[in-house]
Amino acid sequence: MGVPLLSLIVLTPAVGAFLLMFLRSDDAVRWTALAVTVLDLALCIAMLAGFDTTTPAMQFVERHPWVPALGITFSLGIDGISALFVFLTALLGTVCVLASWAAIDRRVKAFMISLLLMQALMLGVFCALDLFLFYVCWEAMLIPMYLIIGVWGGEGRVYAAFKFFLYTLAGSLVFLVGVIVLYLQGGKTFDILALTAQHLPFAVQSWLFFAFLIAFAVKVPMVPVHTWLPDAHVQAPTAGSIILAGVLLKMGAYGFLRFSLPMLPEASLHYQTLMLALSALAIVYGGLLALAQDDLKKLVAYSSISHMGFVTLGIFALNLRGLQGGILQMFNHGMTTGALFLFVGLIYERTHTRSIADYGGLMKLAPIYTTFLALFTLSSMALPGTNSFIGELLVLSGGFAANLALGAVAVLGALLGAAYLLGMYGRVALGPATARAGYKIYDVNAREIAAILPLAVFVLWVGLYPKPFLAIIDASVRHLLVQVHGEGGGQ
């Protein structure tokens, strides 16, 4: 047996969290947490280097008995759909440690332990091949996220953390019922690959589709179960917002890709128009709400709702271009919106205000900051040459092919994105300087640039040369379409 690479990737942050318990110095905690996340990122790069892009089969598969009486195993594996998100989680983990270096100055050890445990559980979600293991990781990550918001958040942190926990727990409980039904109807196994191979009656598929929809829609989040997100984002510390936007929201969309489409193909096709309509609603509604915001963090939070609407639109286009665009856009959104929340956090550390009206003329005071901010703003509005353009182009192409009217509505969302993002950047960076009593604006330092640069590289890399990223997902997307439509369908 070779090196258990996925076990190392998933368990390294957990082991790191355990080691942090024995450290006393805050600096030692910070450096150790950074070393652990960098090591995990290196393991993920090794995983991608050894990934075979020509097959849709699960790779690096590991199976270890866990609860034999119930057929539960510690099973890990990745395909083209999950590989990019394993890497994204590890990369953003490193960014989060760097972003929290100075911003978190109390209970540093507890914060870093929560951060590393959160990373381990998120990696477990993307690598799990056992439904029980998936559910344990899916549910358990609520705890460190709740603590990150509730202990280190803003003034309204307790309310925001409680609301986040209640919404996601409610969705998870419905998901648990679905898991039990799937276990009983699918041959009493938790093996995700075995369950995918089962053909369930349409009535069962339909019931499970809505059970999973409730759970996954809360995580995405889709309108109307989105209201926890702005509160959580606004109150969370910078690292919490990066995790929420960069990884946590992807788990709902990943659930559709891993469970709803391959396991419930007839129901997915039957309710396709409903899902496309909900996606188009999220795109426009999120864009309109973002347009009305003066709070910089709320603006980025509502933009996430709109951008994740493009993701679900691509997924439920149920054709090659739509699915490729939806998955790529999940990856792009993690990079771009994670970076925007990092920039909000950096300026908040300097000014202790998030009101756009309090900013102005930052181009002169912080030219490096505003230059990078321009790049991520243009990426968020899908300018050609940036990562989001490729993803959004594929999504809209697939969306128009699936439903012309709803594809046209999605274009309106793209126009709204340009309006609120250009308006925000103009007021923050290019507008007239405002009075700044009591605080001093200074440009980004070397540590902050180290957090920003990797994200900037991927914005340009995917935008200018997307082929390697599309190659990773291509075989798995084509196989998923065969599972949904049958041979030759949905291309």
pLDDT digits (tens, 9 = 90+) for 244-279: 888 988 999 999 999 999 999 999 999 999 999 999
Cα–Cα dist 132/123, whole Å:
15
Q: Mean pLDDT throughout 211-234?
A: 89
Q: Mean pLDDT throughout 148-153?
A: 90
pLDDT of residue 154: 81
pLDDT of residue 67: 85
Cα–Cα dist 204/189, whole Å:
16
pLDDT tier at 131, thresholds 50, 70, 90:
very high
pLDDT at residue 1 greater than cutoff 80: no
pLDDT of residue 490: 56
pLDDT of residue 274: 94
Tokens of 254: 């990943």
pLDDT tier at 212, thresholds 50, 70, 90:
very high
pLDDT tier at 434, thresholds 50, 70, 90:
low
Instruction: Encode pLDDT of 377-427 as tens digits.
Output: 999 998 999 999 999 999 999 999 998 998 898 898 889 988 999 988 988
Answer yes or no: are the C-beta atoms of 30 and 112 closer than 8 Å. Answer: yes
pLDDT tier at 8, thresholds 50, 70, 90:
very high
pLDDT of residue 435: 52
pLDDT tier at 438, thresholds 50, 70, 90:
low
pLDDT of residue 121: 95
pLDDT tier at 464, thresholds 50, 70, 90:
very high
pTM exceeds cut of 0.85: yes
Q: Mean pLDDT throughout 308-318?
A: 93
Mean pLDDT across the chain: 90
pLDDT of residue 109: 93
pLDDT of residue 224: 87
β-pair type (59-67, 72-78): antiparallel
pLDDT tier at 472, thresholds 50, 70, 90:
very high
Which is higher by pLDDT, 221 or 48? 48
pLDDT tier at 487, thresholds 50, 70, 90:
low
23 Rama class: left (phi>0) / alpha (psi -120 to 50) / beta:
beta
Instruction: Encode pLDDT of 296-305 as tens digits.
Output: 888 999 999 9
Non-local (6+) Cβ contacts of 405 within 8 A are none
pLDDT of residue 436: 58
